[in-house]
Amino acid sequence: MTALPSTLVAGTPDAVSLAASGAVQERAWLLVALPLAGAAILLLGGRRLNRWGHWLAVALSWSAFAWGVLLFWSLRGQAPDDRSRSLHLFTWVPAGNFQLDAGLLLDPLSVAFVLMVTFVASLIHVYSVAYMEHDPDRRRFFAYMNLFVASMLLLVLADSYVLLYVGWEGVGLASYLLIGFWNHNPDYAAAAKKAFIANRVGDLGLTIAIMIMFATFGTVTYSGVLSGLDGASEGTLTAIGLMLLLGACGKSAQFPLQSWLGDAMAGPTPVSALIHAATMVTAGVYLVVRSGPIYESAPTAQLLVVIVGAVTLVFGAIVGCAKDDIKKALAASTMSQIGYMMLAAGLGPVGYIFAIFHLLTHGFFKAGMFLGAGSVMHGMNDSVDLRGFGRLNGVMKVTWLTFAAGWLAILGVPPFSGFFSKDKIIETAFATGDGARPWLVGSVALVGAGLTAFYMSRMFFLTFHGRKRWPEDAHPHESPLLMTVPMVILAVGSVALGGFLAFDHTFLNWLEPATGTAHEEDPVLAAIVIQGATLALVAAGIALAWARYWRAEVPATAPAGNPLTVAARNDLYQDQVNEVLLMQSGQYLTRSLVFVDNRGVDGLVRGSAAAVGGLAGRLRRWQTGFVRSYATSMTAGVIAVVLGVVAVRI
């Protein structure tokens, strides 16, 4: 498992291709610059770009993908241990003892992200051309989408925590703008703000982590921080790890900062597919994996990563079982799947690889299912109510089949993509740690697989099978090619990407130089037993969902349900908790401070001024003579000055 790959170097590269690959790598900044230019042109270009601006955005996104492929190819041509290159761009913040250059880090991890992000984003750009066709603000939409791609690429390519932070907030901004894209609906505007604020709380963690890093290591680059870990105490590293985790929780909607993701479904569905499923929300996992050595030196922080992942995994799965809104159910599922990745990221080098592996496959199948949901909405007058669908498999064949591919992939049914990534996470969870820990963490991951099977099958059956429950005005139809082709391509990825990357340990070998050598331990149970248990639970989940949501009659309105169902429908009361803990007390504090500031602080100063000379009171009477009041205060001032000078002289 740990053998270094030797077959990847295809022949000896000649001087020409070496030079070419150098040129490709040196211009890696184009990856960020191309979509960024697209965003700027579309925003500044005005209405005259309305007719073709979206195609410019599509082209720039694809060109970023093309450059990513060239970059991948050039790195692949180098020996595995040389596949990491730091690219200096310019001197960014030279300030006293804080010196920071803007630079990019090209390595297997960042390039894997580049490929996935640009490919999925480009497909979704194409899909959006049709999906947003009738929106008067389509140009603005595509500008924000390009801004997102640029920021996301900056996030994964940065070579320091501060430049990562720029991309980090850039994607947050794009997310804010796109969630609130239809902000004439007040609820959507509130959802956008909520997402930004929750992320800002996470950013606080990231900021503090960077502050500790600089005070400890005197630098904030990955290379500087990660190579100096030996000199830092475990307490310091734990603090850094926890603060980074807080940042990751905000961005990746992990417990306890998860509340924004469900509301974020207010954005147009392609946005949900790209930002809130495939790419941005996985940035927290990237951050933890990138900072892996810190967590390896700080076991407490690492354990907390596992706990956060496990809690979120179950949280999202429970919520997903009760949602009747197809997008919110998918959002809960995203949360839960990222919980899996986070859990894996807390399991050390082996876990990193499967976390990123699952992240990539998830990017495909979840984006595919979101696009499928968008296609269903497109055909059903923008309805998202699962109880108003049913038996759509006949009228929307492509959507049905592509969604089915995603469904089987997320369930982890062999040989679909999820099988190779998620089952490995469950196995690794059973293999890491001492005593009861592997049993505990492994069981949670295992139960999560069963829950996933139930809620995803529920969603799938409610939408495409069972009886027709369409509203009377619905005339469902298949979506145009611009939408279905991206869905088909993503479905191919859902089917085959996992097997392709797992074959001959291709992905493991690719990523190992970046994430550290993976020593796979034996799980506490035999791998075959775990796989069998997983499949049994998945089968049980499907069967239960089949009985209740395919075969049985599904009421048009949700039945009352037991307390757990009600709680799950209400997102386990996350908003109510935040409301009581944060918002009400915050509003009380703000209001009382405003009162104090007007009456207290200001009044005190005014009062003392009046007490000193009675000046304030009299001035109020003299306000009719405006210039006179000035003359008076100046005279008083001059007298005071003379007195002061005399006092000094004496």
Partner 1 sequence: MPWLTTIGALPLVGAAAVWLLPSRSARPARVTALVASLITLLATLAMAYRFDTDTAGTHQFTEQHRWIAEFGVNYAVGIDGLGLVMIVLSALLVPICLLAGWNQVEGSSARHYFGLILVLETFMIGVFAARDLFLFYVLFEAMLIPVYFLIGLFGGAQRRYAAVKFLLYSLLGGLVMLVAVIYLYVEGPGGPDGFLISELTGLEFSSELTGRLLFCAFFFAFAIKAPMWPVHTWLPDAAAQAPPGVAVLLVGVLDKVGTFGMLTLCLPLFPEASRWATPVVLALAVVSVLYGGLLAIGQVDLLRMIAYTSVSHFGFIVIGVFAMTSSAQSGAALYMLNHGFSTGALFLVAGMLIARRGSARIADYGGLQRSTPLLAGTFLLAGLSSLALPGLSSFISEFLVLVGTYGRYPGVAVVAAGGMVLAALYILLTYQRMFTGPVKDFASGWRDMNLREGLVMAPLIAVIVALGFFPKPVLDVLNPVADRTLQQVSMTDPAPTAAGEESTTEGTQP
In the list 623, 628, 631, 635, the residue contacting partner 1 (rule: CB under 8 A) is 623
Judged by CB under 8 A, the residue of 94, 435, 555, 559 near partner 1 is 94
Q: Which amino acid is at 224?
A: G
Element (H, E) at 86: strand 85-95
Query: Rounded to the nearest whole angstrom, what is the least distance from the CB of residue 216 to partner 1 in the complex?
Result: 5
Main-chain phi, psi angles of 255, to 5 degrees: -55, 135
* Total residues interacting with partner 1, rule: CB under 8 A: 93
Among 27, 76, 193, 548, binds partner 1 (CB under 8 A): 193
Tell me which DSSP letter residue 158 carries.
B
Least separation in angstroms between residue 390's CB and partner 1 is 34
List the structure tokens of 337: 């799947």
Query: In the window 103-142, what residues touch partner 1 (CB under 8 A)?
Result: 103, 140
Contact criterion met (CB below 8 Å) for 246 and 204: yes
* Per CB under 8 A, 169 contacts partner 1: yes
Instruction: Provide, rounded to whole angstroms, the least separation between the CB of residue 249 and partner 1.
Output: 14
Q: Which is nearer to partner 1, 34 or 371 (CB)?
A: 34
> In degrees, to the nearest 5, what angle opens at C-alpha 299 toward C-alphas 100 and 577?
85
Contact between 527 and partner 1 by CB under 8 A: the answer reads: no
How many Å apart are CA 360 and CA 421, to the nearest integer?
Answer: 9
Contact between 219 and partner 1 by CB under 8 A: the answer reads: yes
Closest CB to partner 1 among residues 5, 293: 293
Q: In the numeric block, which tokens belong to residue 45?
A: 């270009």
Six token digits for residue 617:
């009171």
Q: With binding defined as CB under 8 A, does residue 609 bind partner 1?
A: yes
- For partner 1, the binding residue among 15, 95, 556, 650 (CB under 8 A) is 95
The residue within the footprint of partner 1, chosen from 11, 16, 186, 553 (CB under 8 A), is 186
160 binds partner 1, rule: CB under 8 A: yes
* Sign for the pseudo-dihedral over CA of 1, 426, 280, 478: positive
DSSP-derived secondary structure letter, 480: P
The residues, any chain, with a CB within 8 Å of residue 245's CB and separated by 6 or more, are 205, 288, 301, 304, 305, 308
Restricting to residues 629-648, name those near partner 1 by CB under 8 A: 629-630, 633, 636-637, 640-641, 644-645, 647-648
By CB under 8 A, tell whether 602 contacts partner 1.
Answer: yes
**Which CB atom, from 213 or from 347, has the smaller least distance to partner 1?**
213
The smaller minimum CB distance to partner 1, of residues 87 and 395, is found at 87
Which stretch, 117-125, 127-135, 207-215, 499-507, contacts partner 1 (CB under 8 A)? Answer: 207-215
User: Of 110, 159, 366, 453, which one interacts with partner 1 (CB under 8 A)?
Assistant: 159
Among 90, 134, 556, 563, binds partner 1 (CB under 8 A): 90
Residue 504 or residue 602: which is nearer to partner 1 going by CB?
Answer: 602
Taking every pair of Cα atoms in the chain, the longest distance, rounded to a whole number of angstroms, is 102
| Of 8, 20, 33, 208, the one binding partner 1 by CB under 8 A | 208
CB atoms within 10 A of CB 99: 13
- Residue 271 in tokens: 């946005």
Q: Examine residue 618 and tell whether it contacts partner 1 (CB under 8 A).
A: no
Residue range at the interface with partner 1 (CB under 8 A); choices 181-189, 267-275, 365-373, 532-540? 181-189
Query: Which of 8-16, 167-175, 512-520, 545-553 is the region at the interface with partner 1 (rule: CB under 8 A)?
Result: 167-175
Alpha helices in 346-379 (DSSP H): 349-379
547 counts as binding partner 1 under rule CB under 8 A? no
What's the rounded Cα separation, in Å, for the pair 441 and 426?
9
Nearer to partner 1, 130 or 150 (CB): 150
Helix-strand-coil percent breakdown of the chain, rounded to 5?
75, 5, 20
Using CB under 8 A as the binding rule, whether residue 165 contacts partner 1 is answered as: yes
Q: Of these, 594, 611, 628, 635, which contacts partner 1 (CB under 8 A)?
A: 594
Per-residue binder mask for partner 1 (CB under 8 A), 29-48, x = binder: --------------x-----
C-beta closer to partner 1: residue 294 or 321: 294
In angstroms, what is the minimal distance from the CB of 193 to partner 1?
5
Nearest to partner 1 of 211, 580 (CB atom): 211
Among positions 17, 25, 223, 565, the unique one binding partner 1 when judged by CB under 8 A = 223
CB atoms within 10 A of CB 625: 11
The bridge status of strand 85-95 relative to strand 98-106 is antiparallel
**Stretch of 255-263, 374-382, 420-428, 588-596 contacting partner 1, by CB under 8 A:** 588-596
Q: Which of 3, 16, 215, 556 binds partner 1 (CB under 8 A)?
A: 215
353 vs 501: CA distance, rounded Å: 11
Closest approach, Cβ 43 to partner 1, in A, equals 8
Residues of span 229-268 touching partner 1 by CB under 8 A: 230-232, 236
Q: What is the dihedral of CA 83, 89, 91, 97, to 10 degrees?
A: -20
Query: Cα–chain-centroid distance for residue 594?
Result: 36
- Residue from the set 2, 19, 133, 218 that interacts with partner 1 by CB under 8 A: 218
Indicate whether 52 belongs to the interface with partner 1 (CB under 8 A). no
Q: For residues 522 and 543, give the distance between their C-alpha atoms in angstroms, rounded to a whole number.
A: 31
The β-bridge partners of 101 are: 91
Among 160, 184, 191, 177, which residue's Cα sits nearest to residue 253?
A: 191
CB burial string 284-314: b at 16+ within 10 A, e below: bbbbbbbbbbbbbbbeebbbbbbbbbbbbbb
User: Tokens 């001492």 belong to which residue?
Assistant: 434
Q: How far apart are CA 255 and CA 27, in angstroms?
A: 39
Contact with partner 1 (CB under 8 A) among 59, 69, 189, 447: 189
